[in-house]
Structure 1
Amino acid sequence: MKKVVVGMSVLIMALTGWGSQIRNVEAGTHDEAARPEFYATHVLPILKANCYRCHGGINHRGGLSVETQMGMLKGGEHGASLIPGDPAKSLLVQLIRHEGPADDPMPMPPKASKLSDADIATITRWIKEGAIMPENTVKP
């Protein structure tokens, strides 16, 4: 019976992603970017300063809202803007690096300076660690 309980626990952890977080904590490699506080203190200010004018509040240009994880996962006219854990495949990272698709590069922010390398690195790191946001920003 004990083996069944342990086996089910491992299965649940694997399916929900808990296992990787536990391994990271145990190994001492758990990145602060995987915590909701990182989003609130580092990522949100970048998004508010550079993205909210067109993709926040009542403005969802291109059908995209960057206010919630759900909004970014749903994406806009060009699909999901982020893929948690994979910044290289996340459209958000491609666009802020000014490396968008050749047929429609859409450098972001438009008509403005490219984000600083530090800001791009912050967003990239956040996405790599799972694009974790505080629960109150994940609206259905």
Structure 2
Amino acid sequence: MGISRNANARWEGDLKGGRGTLSTPDSGLLSGTRYAFNSRFGQEKGTNPEELVAAAHAGCFAMALAANLGEAGFTPESIDARAEVDLSLEGGPTLSQIRLTVEARVPDIDEAKFRAVAEDTKQNCPVSKALSAVPITMQATLVS
């Protein structure tokens, strides 16, 4: 048996004029957070599914990189990960690209080993695997 997590979404109204709320009851991270057509496709303040996918991917990647570095015998001092998720509107909305950017402080590791561990993590963190239909690129920087 695995671990199950959940989030809730409620939408009211039509696509362009309606509004929705998102919540994550177990963590309280999102408690009635608003989202709407214009926060997804325009500049209105609020969240959107792509931003939440990016947050999930950045968080998963950072944790998985820490685990993989530990398994390789290295203890990271810090890992800063960013994920950018592109939404293409050609042929209907679709996630078209994800760009991971990571900067990590890892004592006693050389550049080649760091890049190899980061690349393996990009391919194998659970969220990367779930998003494997979307091209994922990565820029990994070892900070000294």
TM bucket (normalised to shorter chain) is under 0.3
Q: Which structure dedicates a bigger proportion of its chain to helix?
A: 1
What TM-score, normalized by structure 2, do the two folds share?
0.26
TM-score, normalising length: structure 1: 0.26
Give the structure, 1 or 2, with the largest relative contact order (CA under 8 Å, sep 6 or more).
Answer: 1
